[in-house]
Amino acid sequence: MILLPTNRDVSSIVTSLFQPFKNHLRILHDDEDDMIRLYLQGAIEAIEAASGNDIALTSYKVEYVGVEGIEYSHEATKWYCGKWDIKNVKIVNVYGTDVTNEFTIDNAHGIIYPKPYGYEITFDVGYSDAADMSANLVTLIFRYGAHLYENREAVRIGEPKLVPDWVNYALPSVWKPRV
pLDDT tens digits, 40-74: 999 998 888 887 778 888 888 876 665 544 454 44
- Rounded to whole angstroms, the Cα distance separating 43 from 17 reads 12
- Sequence spans of domains, the chain: 1-179
pLDDT single digits (tens) 92-105: 888 889 988 888 77
Average pLDDT, the chain: 77
pLDDT band at 82 (very low <50, low <70, confident <90, very high): very low
With H, G, I as helix, E, B as strand and everything else as coil, classify residue 62: strand
Residues 142 and 58: their CA atoms lie apart, in Å, by 21
pTM, 2 dp: 0.69
Per-residue HEC secondary structure of 84-150 comes to CCEEEEEEECCCCCECHHHCEEECCCCEEECCCCCCEEEEEECECCHHHCCHHHHHHHHHHHHHHHH
